[in-house]
Amino acid sequence: MKTQEETKKVQKQKPGKANVTDKQLQSNIDQTMQKDFAVEQTEEVKKAIEILNQTTKVIDLIKENKNEEAKQELAKIIGSLEILITKDPKLAVIPVDIRSQIVDAVVDIPTAQAIIEEVEEAVAEGYYQTAKDLLEGLTSAYIIYVYMLPLATYPDAMKIAAALLDEGKNEEAISTLITALNTLAIDKIEIPLPVLRAEEFIKLAAVAMKENKKEEAKLFLENAEYQLELAEIMGYGKKDKEYKEIYEAIKALKKAIGEENETESLFTELSEKIKNFKERLFFNRNK
């Protein structure tokens, strides 16, 4: 049986349309994510990217039957890898690329609740695979894929390719190099879109307050609150106490706006809360 609080959340009406298009909101999220997950161009990262480019070059040289040039390039790659490993023996992977994917199957609380009810019914009747399929549809996420050069295995692949070239086994050498390129280590990070949207709505509310657009600021905050409730109902960190803390911070802000009190410090506090919440639960950092 649902608690009174859960029932209240399910029945919560979606707030009015905020003064921002879905396209602009998504653009804001994209910019934030690009900033949060940008690959820092350190010397190690630059060298790792260069190694990948050299690997592609070696494949092309072998296809052109330029085996001696290919061997020279492989020697350079192996040398570069040895330098990286010697420089930091504990370094297991080096990020070389970031890619993203958006899966947005759920856009409001009634849709999420309907799926949850179907899942509960399927489980109660023992249709576990059906429940599993339904749960896959309970997704609204920004998915980040961080591609990394694995220093534990990549050097061995280069050495094997070089040995194959010495034996005149060009096709096997190419296959080894392609496999190495296709088996970069991948770190998958899934961040709920409702939480990201809430964060952007809070930023927009802060801007609106600076422009003395109080009603617009309150509407942005109501949209942020709705998105957080959607994320919570969908099970993204559902039992985390920080949801409650963020709700209370939003409530305090709306009250301050209504009473024409100072809001800048409250916005700063709220922004920090949601930033820390997002990073701790979803960024795979500081674990």
Give the pLDDT score at 280.
80
Share of the chain above pLDDT 90, in %: 59
The answer to the question of residue 88 being in a domain is yes
Same domain, 166 and 83: yes
- Mean pLDDT on 262-273: 91
Same domain, 198 and 252: yes
Same domain, 238 and 264: yes
Complete DSSP assignment for 105-116: ---SHHHHHHHH
pLDDT > 70? residue 2: no
Same domain, 53 and 128: no
pLDDT > 50? residue 7: no
Give the pLDDT score at 12.
63
The answer to the question of residue 20 being in a domain is yes
Residue type at position 157: A
pLDDT > 70? residue 60: yes
pLDDT > 70? residue 10: no
With the C-alpha atoms ordered 94, 272, 23, 111, is the resulting torsion angle positive or negative?
A: positive
Question: What residues have CB less than 8 Å from 81, skipping those under 6 apart?
Answer: 51, 151, 154, 155, 158
**Is the Cβ–Cβ distance between 47 and 95 less than 8 Å?**
no
The answer to the question of residue 212 being in a domain is yes
- Mean pLDDT on 63-72: 92
Give the pLDDT score at 284.
58
Give the pLDDT score at 162.
92
Q: Counting Cβ atoms within 10 Å, is residue 201 exposed (0-12), middle (13-18) or buried (19+)?
A: buried
The answer to the question of residue 113 being in a domain is yes
Same domain, 48 and 179: yes
Same domain, 200 and 249: yes
Domain boundary among the residues 141, 170, 202 is at 141
pLDDT > 90? residue 278: no
Same domain, 269 and 196: yes
- Mean pLDDT on 92-109: 89
Same domain, 207 and 251: yes
- Mean pLDDT on 86-106: 88
Same domain, 168 and 52: yes
The answer to the question of residue 220 being in a domain is yes
Question: What residues have CB less than 8 Å from 164, skipping those under 6 apart?
Answer: 170, 172, 173, 176
- Mean pLDDT on 43-70: 93
Decide which of 37 and 120 is more confident.
Answer: 120
Same domain, 167 and 77: yes
Tens-place pLDDT, residues 213-257: 999 999 999 999 999 999 999 888 766 777 888 999 999 999 999
**Closest C-alpha to 269, from 251, 242, 236, 246:** 246
4 three-state secondary structure = helix
How many domains does one find in the chain? 3
pLDDT > 60? residue 38: yes
Same domain, 125 and 210: no
Enter the pTM of the model.
0.81
pLDDT > 60? residue 66: yes
pLDDT > 50? residue 163: yes
The answer to the question of residue 287 being in a domain is no
Same domain, 137 and 262: no
- Mean pLDDT on 15-41: 86
**Is the Cβ–Cβ distance between 123 and 104 less than 8 Å?**
no
The answer to the question of residue 165 being in a domain is yes
pLDDT > 50? residue 47: yes
The answer to the question of residue 146 being in a domain is no
Give the pLDDT score at 144.
92
Give the pLDDT score at 238.
67
Domain range for 278 is 4-38+191-282
